[in-house]
A and B are shown apart, each in its own frame.
Chain A
Amino acid sequence: MGNIVSLRKVAKRYTRGKEVVEVLHSLDLDIAEGDFVALMGPSGSGKTTLLNLIGGLDRPTEGEVIVAGEHIDRLSGAALARWRARHVGFVFQFYNLMPMLSAQGNVELPLLLTRLSAAQRRANALTALTIVGLADRARHKPSELSGGQQQRVAIARALVADPTLLVCDEPTGDLDRRTADEILGLLQVLNREHGKTVIMVTHDPKAAEYARRQLHMDKGALVDGQVS
């Protein structure tokens, strides 16, 4: 399989007051289509910044970011938004669901950007909720769901538009071990059975074991890589 993510000499610098902080230093990275990669490293090592660049949420200061065949560092703001809608599903540590919408309403959100009819949107959202095992909770608000269930809804929202890759930032960071294992198992199923490329940032070595490959970062650079 070809690479779905290619980063070439990517650097990212932030200006904090008068100080310039270089978070990523001339980083090269390739991730193959269908891979499940765990990005690990201490706090401040640049994991989330790297994830944000791959997910098209941020732009590099230098270098090229090619994801799903697109030089996303060259896209305009509107084009990048369209690209994200088409290619990336995001899963966050704290779920980031809309509290006033039901599980189904949350999962339907990405589909509002498509040309699907209301009935098709409903059907697709229900399918995504079925995949994550929450079809019976479709009408529940996030506040009526447990943390693990909320994260399942977030995963359903991430995959409902059939994205090329799933980008997960500490998806189990707020969950207990058992629930975390369920969520990681689900991500594994999505990777192995549905062919989704998964890139996951985690602090948790046990969570990283679910990935096919672990990448370690320190001080803005990749340290080594291993296949689990």
Chain B
Amino acid sequence: MKYFPLLWATLWRKKTRTIFTLLSIVIAFLLFGMLQGVNAAFQQGVTNANVNRLIVTSRISLTEPLPIAQKPLIEAVPGVAGVAYASWFGAYYQEQKNFVFATPVDIDDYLKVVPELKIAPEQIEALKRTRTGLIVGLDLMQKYGWKVGDRIPLHSTIWVKKDDGNSDWAFDIVGTYNFTTDPSQNNGALFNYSYFDEARTFGAGTIGWWIVSVRDPNQSAQIAAAIDKLFENSPDETKSQSEKEFAQSFLKQFGDINFIVQAILGAVFFTLLFLTGNTMMQAVRERIPELAVLKTLGFSDAKVTVLVLAESLLLCLIAAALGLLVASLLFPMLKDYIGAVKLPTSVLVRGAGIAVLLALATGGLPAWRAKRLVIVDALAGR
């Protein structure tokens, strides 16, 4: 700590240069925070996937419907604990940008296989009683200021109603749900499959995908194979995956986000390495007589080396802290798009680690030069 005033004064020796270098590192870490945050938010769905569940879709495509008649056959597969189903409704509220992940389900089946979804019992009963009932995730309720008892329209981009040829579906909010293990899923809504199935113009008797809970997660692969075997060579062949695999393959539809993020950040930090390294080299080159004086006063080679490295570390850590702070302030604004509300701690920790590595990489060469500096040559300007 006693060297801090010396380090601080040295860091600000050339204010303009330090500010510009600091800003370039701040922007790099802001980018790092935002991109890694988005990446982590996407991966969170994979991480939070339940090991006890399988997702069964059509072998052809996720958008291809499956007949509801498959349900008793899947239930009969040894090791299967419960079977629920859902469909893609493709809804938005008022404007297209207000996407709502609303899903038609049989609430009893659904709660059996997704027990982490918490709904008050009286609200479950209300949903069953109300054909147009809707149970809304806590965050979605808050976002639009909805209340239980409100009647709201959701526009489906796929499904048209038989009775009026309209794609605007009216719902009565009868309750809220809380997804306890993954709050990012509190942005959705659930409604009665019976209402959906009876009212739509096409696709009656079909569902989008099966959600299958298994008794023993170690048997997941065998159960998935057994389910797919059931429908082999039928018009509705299935593809069964663990929830994790499903989440991963779903993500891959957008491209390999992880790779894209790492590639962008790799390029940014590679450039930064040269920029900051060059600045540090220049700073040390200008201070050779001062470093020689420190050595003259009795600062050992090791101490001077550590001082130069510490200066680099101070610069990188301050900039990284500022960049990550701005990223964590901006990150909640992406809530509507990626569901996550807080920059994951793991991103902050990784950011700090990268700042240390950056400091060592950019300060290493100048520190080595400072270490090898010969006092009499440096004082003589040689």
CB of A112 within 8 A of CB of B300, answer: no
* In the bound complex, CA of A109 to CA of B300 (Å): 13
List residues of chain B with CB within 8 A of the CB of A121. Answer: 2
List residues of chain B with CB within 8 A of the CB of A162. Answer: none
CB of B376 within 8 A of CB of A96, answer: no
Q: Of the candidates A100, A109, A112, which one forms a contact with B13 in the assembled complex, judged by CB atoms under 8 Å apart?
A: A100
* In the bound complex, CA of A84 to CA of B299 (Å): 9
Q: Does A139 contact B (CB under 8 A)?
A: no
* In the bound complex, CA of A52 to CA of B300 (Å): 17
Q: Of the candidates B289, B298, B379, which one forms a contact with A85 in the assembled complex, judged by CB atoms under 8 Å apart?
A: B298
CB of A100 within 8 A of CB of B12, answer: yes
Those of B263-306 within 8 Å (CB) of chain A:
289-290, 293-303
List residues of chain A with CB within 8 A of the CB of B12. Answer: 100
Q: Which residue on chain B has the smallest CB distance to residue A59?
A: B376
Q: Does B72 contact A (CB under 8 A)?
A: no
Of the A-B pairs whose beta carbons lie under 8 Å apart in the complex, a sample of 24, sorted by A's number, is A57-B296, A58-B375, A58-B376, A78-B302, A81-B299, A81-B300, A83-B298, A84-B296, A90-B296, A90-B297, A92-B379, A96-B296, A96-B379, A98-B9, A99-B13, A100-B9, A100-B10, A100-B12, A105-B6, A110-B297, A112-B2, A113-B297, A113-B299, A157-B297
* In the bound complex, CA of A83 to CA of B296 (Å): 11
Binding site for A on B (CB under 8 A): 2-3, 5-6, 9-10, 12-13, 289-290, 293-303, 375-376, 379
List residues of chain B with CB within 8 A of the CB of A84. Answer: 296-298
List residues of chain B with CB within 8 A of the CB of A216. Answer: none
Q: Which residue on chain B has the smallest CB distance to residue A55?
A: B296
CB of B9 within 8 A of CB of A78, answer: no
With known contacts A112-B2, A112-B3, A78–B301 Cβ distance under 8 A: yes
Q: What sequence of 0s and 1s flags, for each residue 82-99 of chain A, a beta carbon within 8 Å of any chain B beta carbon?
A: 111110001010001011
Q: Of the candidates B293, B296, B302, B303, which one forms a contact with A98 in the assembled complex, judged by CB atoms under 8 Å apart?
A: B293
* In the bound complex, CA of A58 to CA of B376 (Å): 7
List residues of chain A with CB within 8 A of the CB of B300. Answer: 77-78, 81-82
Q: How large is the interface on A (under 10, 10 to 19, 20 to 34, 35 or more residues)?
A: 20 to 34
* In the bound complex, CA of A109 to CA of B296 (Å): 11
CB of A112 within 8 A of CB of B6, answer: yes
Those of A60-107 within 8 Å (CB) of chain B:
77-78, 81-86, 90, 92, 96, 98-101, 105
CB distance from A183 to the nearest CB of B (A): 18
* In the bound complex, CA of A90 to CA of B6 (Å): 20
Q: Does A118 contact B (CB under 8 A)?
A: yes
CB of B290 within 8 A of CB of A77, answer: no
List residues of chain A with CB within 8 A of the CB of B302. Answer: 78
CB distance from A78 to the nearest CB of B (A): 5
List residues of chain A with CB within 8 A of the CB of B3. Answer: 112
List residues of chain A with CB within 8 A of the CB of B376. Answer: 52, 57-58
* In the bound complex, CA of A69 to CA of B299 (Å): 21
CB of A118 within 8 A of CB of B2, answer: yes
CB distance from B349 to the nearest CB of A (A): 32
List residues of chain B with CB within 8 A of the CB of A96. Answer: 289-290, 293, 296, 379
CB of B301 within 8 A of CB of A110, answer: no
Q: Of the candidates A52, A58, A85, A101, which one forms a contact with B9 in the assembled complex, judged by CB atoms under 8 Å apart?
A: A101
Interface of A is mostly: helix
CB of B375 within 8 A of CB of A109, answer: no
List residues of chain B with CB within 8 A of the CB of A55. Answer: 296
Q: Which residue on chain A has the smallest CB distance to residue B300?
A: A81
With known contacts A52-B376, A58-B376, A92-B379, A109–B297 Cβ distance under 8 A: yes
List residues of chain B with CB within 8 A of the CB of A81. Answer: 295, 298-301, 303
Those of A148-196 within 8 Å (CB) of chain B:
157
Q: What sequence of 0s and 1s flags, for each residue 48-60 of chain A, a beta carbon within 8 Å of any chain B beta carbon?
A: 0000100101100
List residues of chain B with CB within 8 A of the CB of A110. Answer: 297-298
List residues of chain A with CB within 8 A of the CB of B294. Answer: 109
CB distance from B6 to the nearest CB of A (A): 7
Q: Told that A96-B289, A100-B10, A101-B6 touch, could you supply 6 new A-B pairs with CB distance under 8 A?
A: A82-B300, A84-B298, A96-B290, A98-B290, A99-B13, A112-B3
* In the bound complex, CA of A112 to CA of B3 (Å): 7
Q: What sequence of 0s and 1s flags, for each residue 115-137 of chain A, a beta carbon within 8 Å of any chain B beta carbon?
A: 00010010000000000000000
CB of A77 within 8 A of CB of B301, answer: yes
Those of A10-57 within 8 Å (CB) of chain B:
52, 55, 57
* In the bound complex, CA of A109 to CA of B3 (Å): 9
List residues of chain B with CB within 8 A of the CB of A83. Answer: 298
CB distance from B205 to the nearest CB of A (A): 79
* In the bound complex, CA of A22 to CA of B13 (Å): 40
CB of B296 within 8 A of CB of A105, answer: no
CB distance from A81 to the nearest CB of B (A): 4
CB distance from A173 to the nearest CB of B (A): 14
CB of B301 within 8 A of CB of A105, answer: no
CB distance from A48 to the nearest CB of B (A): 8
Enumerate the 7 nearest inter-chain pairs by beta-carbon distance, A residue then B residue, closest first: A85-B298, A81-B300, A100-B9, A84-B298, A96-B293, A100-B13, A78-B300
List residues of chain A with CB within 8 A of the CB of B293. Answer: 92, 96, 98
* In the bound complex, CA of A51 to CA of B367 (Å): 28
CB of B296 within 8 A of CB of A82, answer: no
* In the bound complex, CA of A105 to CA of B3 (Å): 11
CB distance from A121 to the nearest CB of B (A): 8
Name which of A52, A85, A100, A110 has the most chain B CB atoms within 10 A of its CB: A100
Q: Which residue on chain A has the smallest CB distance to residue B3?
A: A112
